[in-house]
Amino acid sequence: MISLRQRFVLLYAKLFKADQQFHCLLHRKYSAGKEARTTDATFCGMLIALKTSDSICEVDMDSAQNFFLTGCASGIGQHLADRLLANGHKVWATDVNLPALTRHAELQHWPEERVRVRQLDVRNAEAWDAAVNEAVSELGSIDVLMNIAGYLWADKFYEMPAEEVDLNIDVNAKGVIFGTQAAARQMIKQGHGHIINISSMAGLVPIQSLAIYSASKYAVRGFSLAAAQELRPHGIFVTVVCPDAVETPMTARQRERAEAAILFSSPKLLTVEAVGDAIIRRVLTHRPLELYLPIHRGLLARLTDLFPSLAFPLGPLFAKRGRSHQLHMRKDAKAS
């Protein structure tokens, strides 16, 4: 009889070849056949459950809420700030790059009566406390915190300078922790709130040449899941979102770098619009504990985390695919 491990290897091979709906493959593989072992069925059930929402209740997003966002000068944070303001919400938009954030706010004609633009270095715990206090004094409350600010630089971990290590850990991990602490203290007083922390697919599976980044994003996910347990009794929900590589300026800076090839292993990068849709339509309304984007890549990552040795043969294959995609991107850029 084929072993469970062999089954997973076969599934990986199919996924790598087609890069299509992994959860459907998994469901067909394990739901058919009467002689499937109990352990297999139980494990399959656990994985299939990952694609469903674990919401407690739905939230009415038609009523205006107060949002506190980081990383709003570009990428996901910028897009979400645009969307939330267009939907009539109040937004406290922050970024370490205040000039870029201000320029975007002016270009998009952000409504002054519903938005405040502020500089915030998420690495500074005192700055977080001051920012949250100012936001509460003006808005009255913070309904949702979105920790979006992040930093990425791909390199072999043993060649990465200490300052790059610090940036990865301080921005990605400590920034989320400090922000969650500051917001949680206020939300406990309110008796409600929702904290959304952006991790990464690299927070589900260790990725070569992204060892430090993976460490920081594993920290975000682990911290968020633990914080959710502590805050739920206070009426506060925590969601950790783990997207695959997203088409943002931060990712674009890695296109020419061989060390970052695996970032581009997916046939197409996620767009900020796709991430924004998932957060607005699923995370804000259903408040799940975690969300993977896309789900089939998330399940693949979880399996690699369960069987780490699979990363040795699969990592180079995905890196090869990524290099091919990088080459096509460079050709398209020259053609345009």
Please state the pTM of the whole predicted model: 0.84
Tell me what the mean pLDDT of segment 81-106 comes to: 98
CATH of domain 66-303: 3.40.50.720
Q: Report whether pLDDT(40) > 80.
A: no
Q: Report whether pLDDT(25) > 90.
A: no
Q: Are 331 and 271 in contact (CB under 8 A)?
A: no
Span of 37-41, 64-68, 274-278 with lowest mean pLDDT:
37-41
Under the banding of pLDDT at 50, 70 and 90, the label for residue 107 is very high
Q: Are 182 and 127 in contact (CB under 8 A)?
A: no
Under the banding of pLDDT at 50, 70 and 90, the label for residue 33 is very low
Under the banding of pLDDT at 50, 70 and 90, the label for residue 2 is low
Position 334 scores a pLDDT of 82
Position 332 scores a pLDDT of 83
With CA atoms as reference, report the closest residue to 228 among 190, 275, 200, 196. Answer: 196
pLDDT in tens, 252-308: 999 889 999 999 999 899 999 999 999 999 999 999 999 999 999 999 999 999 999
> Which residues are catalytic, by number?
213
pLDDT > 90 in the chain, percent: 75
Q: How far apart are CA 156 and CA 167, in angstroms?
A: 15
With CA atoms as reference, report the closest residue to 220 among 195, 245, 237. Answer: 195
Enumerate the β-bridge partners of residue 88: none
Residue 59: what are its φ and ψ, rounded to 5°? -110, 135
Under the banding of pLDDT at 50, 70 and 90, the label for residue 19 is very low
pLDDT in tens, 146-155: 999 999 999 9
261 token code pair = 């090839």
pLDDT in tens, 127-152: 999 999 999 999 999 999 999 999 99
Q: Report whether pLDDT(78) > 90.
A: yes
Amino acid identity at 55: S
pLDDT in tens, 171-226: 999 999 999 999 999 999 999 999 999 999 999 998 999 999 999 999 999 999 99
Tell me what the mean pLDDT of segment 313-335 comes to: 89
Structure-model confidence comparison of residues 63 and 158, the more confident one: 158
Amino acid identity at 148: I
Q: Are 311 and 202 in contact (CB under 8 A)?
A: no
Under the banding of pLDDT at 50, 70 and 90, the label for residue 109 is very high
Q: Which residues of 268-300 are buried (b: 16+ CB within 10 A; e: fewer)?
A: ebbebebbbebbeebbbbbbbbbbbbbbbbbbb
- Give me the sheet containing 193-198, strands edge to edge: 115-119, 90-95, 66-69, 144-147, 193-198, 236-243, 290-293
217 token code pair = 């994003």
C-alpha distance from residue 31 to each of 44, 116, 296, 323 (Å): 8, 52, 17, 36
Q: What is the mean pLDDT of the chain?
A: 86
Span of 27-31, 63-67, 121-125 with lowest mean pLDDT:
27-31
Q: Where in the chain are the domains? A: 1-49, 66-303
Going through the chain in order, the beta strands assigned E by DSSP cover 66-69, 90-95, 115-119, 144-147, 193-198, 236-243, 290-293
